[in-house]
A = this chain, B = another copy of it.
Amino acid sequence: MTADLRIGIAGLGTVGAGVLKLLAEHRDLLRQRCGRGLAVVAVSARDRNRERAVAWAPARWVDDPVALAAAPDIDVVVELIGGSAGAPRALVEQAIAAGKSVVTANKALIAAAGTQLARAAERAGVSLLFEAAVAGGIPILKAVRESLAGNRLTRVYGILNGTCNYILTNMQETGRPFAEILEEAQALGYAEADPSFDVDGIDAAHKLAILTSLAFGCAVNLDAVYVEGIRDISPADIAYARELGFRIKLLAIARRDGAAIEQRVHPCMVPLDTPIAHVGGVFNAVVTEGDYVGRAVFEGRGAGAGPTASAVVADLVDIARGLEVPAFAVPAAELEAAAVAPMAAHRGPYYVRLLVVDKPGVMADIAAILRDERVSIESVLQRGRSPNEPVPLVLTTHDTEERQMKAALAKIARLDSVIESPHLIRIEHL
Contacts and interface: CB of A to CB of B under 8 A. Distances in A.
Interface of A: 18, 22, 26, 29-30, 32-35, 131, 137-139, 142-143, 146-152, 217, 275, 278, 290-301, 304, 306-307, 309-314, 316-318, 321-325, 329-331, 334
Given A143-B139, A324-B322, A325-B323, A150 B30 contact: yes
Of all A-B residue pairs in the complex, the 5 with the closest CB atoms, nearest first, are A139-B147, A150-B313, A296-B300, A293-B310, A297-B299
29 contacts: A22-B292, A32-B217, A32-B331, A33-B149, A33-B329, A35-B331, A137-B293, A137-B294, A139-B143, A139-B147, A139-B148, A139-B296, A143-B143, A146-B314, A146-B318, A148-B310, A149-B313, A150-B316, A278-B278, A291-B306, A292-B306, A292-B313, A294-B301, A294-B304, A294-B307, A296-B299, A296-B301, A297-B298, A298-B299
Contacts of A137: 292-294, 296
A313 B291 CA distance: 13
Contact of A18 (B33, B275, B292, B298): B292
A150 B297 contact: no
B30 A149 contact: yes
A275 B148 CA distance: 23
A309 B32 contact: no
Copies of this chain in its oligomeric complex: 2
Given A26-B152, A143-B143, A296-B300, 4 more contacts: A137-B296, A278-B278, A295-B301, A298-B298
A49 to B, nearest CB: 28
B294 A32 contact: no
A323 B304 CA distance: 30
Q: Which DSSP category, helix, strand, loop or mixed, fits chain A's interface?
A: mixed
A298 B301 contact: no
B292 A149 contact: no
A301 B293 contact: yes
Given A295-B300, A325-B323, A26 B330 contact: no
A319 to B, nearest CB: 12
A292 B20 CA distance: 12
Nearest to A285: B297
A139 B146 CA distance: 9
